[in-house]
Amino acid sequence: MEFRQLDYFVAVVETGSISAASRRVHVAQPALTRQMRLLEDDLDTRLFDRHARGIRLTVAGRALYEEAIQLLDARAQIKARLAALGSGQVGKLCLGITVTHLWVPDVARLMGGYRQCYPGVAFEVFPLLSGPQLERLREGSLDAGILYLDSAEQPGLETRLLQHDHLMLAVPEASPWSAAPPASLDELKEADFVWGFRSASPVYYDRMLAHFERLSFSPRVVQYGADNITILSMVAAGLGIAIVPSASSAHPMPGIRFVHLPELEACDMPLWMAWRASNDSPALHNLVGLVEEVFGDGGVSSPGQAG
Amino acid sequence: MEFRQLDYFVAVVETGSISAASRRVHVAQPALTRQMRLLEDDLDTRLFDRHARGIRLTVAGRALYEEAIQLLDARAQIKARLAALGSGQVGKLCLGITVTHLWVPDVARLMGGYRQCYPGVAFEVFPLLSGPQLERLREGSLDAGILYLDSAEQPGLETRLLQHDHLMLAVPEASPWSAAPPASLDELKEADFVWGFRSASPVYYDRMLAHFERLSFSPRVVQYGADNITILSMVAAGLGIAIVPSASSAHPMPGIRFVHLPELEACDMPLWMAWRASNDSPALHNLVGLVEEVFGDGGVSSPGQAG
DNA sequence: GGCTTTCCATACATAAAAGGTATGGCTTGC
DNA sequence: GCAAGCCATACCTTTTATGTATGGAAAGCC
Separation of B8 CA and D15 C1' (Å): 21
Strand A192-196 with B54-57, pairing: unpaired
Residue A298 confidence (pLDDT):
54
Question: Which of B38, B78, B143, B286 best tests the A interface by mutation, with the highest count of A CBs <10 A?
Answer: B78
Average pLDDT value for residue range B195-201: 88
Average pLDDT value for residue range A164-173: 93
Q: Which residues of A touch B282 (CB under 8 A)?
A: 59
Distance from CA of A79 to the nearest CA of B (A): 6
Q: Residue A307: pLDDT above 50?
A: no
Strand C within 7 A of A31 CB: yes
The nucleotide minimizing the C1' distance to residue B25's CA is D18
**How does pLDDT run across B147-161, given as a tens digit for each residue?**
999 888 888 888 999
What is the distance between the terminal CA atoms of chain B, rounded to a whole angstrom?
A: 50
Alpha helices in A185-252 (DSSP H): 202-215, 228-236
- Rounded Cα distance between B93 and A136, Å, is 59
Q: Which residues of A touch B64 (CB under 8 A)?
A: 78, 82
Residue A302 confidence (pLDDT):
46
Residue A95 confidence (pLDDT):
95
Q: Residue B299: pLDDT above 90?
A: no
At B50 the three-state DSSP class reads strand
Residue A87 confidence (pLDDT):
81
B60 touches chain A (CB under 8 A): yes
Bridge partners for B258 per DSSP:
B170
Name the DSSP class of B241.
B
Average pLDDT value for residue range A254-261: 92
Q: Residue A300: pLDDT above 80?
A: no
Q: Which residue's C-alpha is at the least distance from the C1' of C20?
A: A28
Q: Residue B141: pLDDT above 80?
A: yes
Bridge partners for A257 per DSSP:
A171
Are residues B137 and B275 in contact, defined by beta-carbon separation less than 8 angstroms? yes
CA distances A51 to A18, A22, A29, A57, B26, Å, are: 11, 16, 15, 11, 41
Percentage of chain A exceeding pLDDT 70? 96
**How does pLDDT run across B169-189, given as a tens digit for each residue?**
999 998 898 888 898 888 898
Average pLDDT value for residue range A103-129: 92
User: Predicted confidence band at B307 (pLDDT cuts at 50, 70, 90)?
Assistant: very low
Q: Which residues of B touch A140 (CB under 8 A)?
A: none
Q: Residue B306: pLDDT above 70?
A: no
Percentage of chain B exceeding pLDDT 70? 96
Average pLDDT value for residue range B123-141: 90
**How does pLDDT run across B38-74, given as a tens digit for each residue?**
999 999 888 988 888 888 888 889 999 999 999 999 9
Q: Which residues of A touch B91 (CB under 8 A)?
A: 59
Please judge whether B82 and A45 are an interchain contact, meaning their C-beta atoms are less than 8 angstroms apart: yes
* Domains assigned to chain A: 3-84 (1.10.10.10), 91-161+271-302 (3.40.190.10), 167-265 (3.40.190.10)
What is the H or E stretch that residue B269 is in?
strand B269-276
Residue length, chain B? 307
Please judge whether B1 and A64 are an interchain contact, meaning their C-beta atoms are less than 8 angstroms apart: no
Q: Residue B302: pLDDT above 50?
A: no
Strand C within 7 A of A37 CB: no
Separation of B32 CA and C13 C1' (Å): 17
A19 touches chain B (CB under 8 A): no
User: Predicted confidence band at A306 (pLDDT cuts at 50, 70, 90)?
Assistant: very low
Half-sphere exposure of B140 (CA within 13 A, CB side): 5
Candidate from A142-156, A290-304, B174-188 with smallest mean pLDDT: A290-304
Please judge whether A81 and B74 are an interchain contact, meaning their C-beta atoms are less than 8 angstroms apart: no
CA distances A123 to A67, A91, A116, Å, are: 36, 9, 11
Q: Which residues of B touch A43 (CB under 8 A)?
A: 79, 82-83
Q: Residue A33: pLDDT above 90?
A: yes
User: Predicted confidence band at B298 (pLDDT cuts at 50, 70, 90)?
Assistant: low
Return all residues near A89 (Cβ < 8 A) that are at least 6 apart.
Answer: A118, A120, A121
Rounded to the nearest integer, the mean pLDDT of chain A is 89
Task: Give me Rg for the CA atoms of chain B.
Answer: 32
Q: Residue A32: pLDDT above 80?
A: yes
B233 touches chain A (CB under 8 A): no
Percentage of chain A exceeding pLDDT 90? 57
Percentage of chain B exceeding pLDDT 90? 55
The nucleotide minimizing the C1' distance to residue B32's CA is D18
Average pLDDT value for residue range B201-215: 90
Q: Residue B286: pLDDT above 70?
A: yes
User: Predicted confidence band at B297 (pLDDT cuts at 50, 70, 90)?
Assistant: low
User: Predicted confidence band at A304 (pLDDT cuts at 50, 70, 90)?
Assistant: very low
Distance from CA of B150 to the nearest CA of A (A): 30
Q: Residue A182: pLDDT above 50?
A: yes
B225 touches chain A (CB under 8 A): no
Distance from CA of A113 to the nearest CA of B (A): 23
Q: Residue A39: pLDDT above 90?
A: yes
Rounded to the nearest integer, the mean pLDDT of chain B is 89
| A2 → closest Cβ in B2, B58, B70 | B2
User: Predicted confidence band at A297 (pLDDT cuts at 50, 70, 90)?
Assistant: low
Return all residues near B224 (Cβ < 8 A) that are at least 6 apart.
Answer: B194, B195, B196, B197
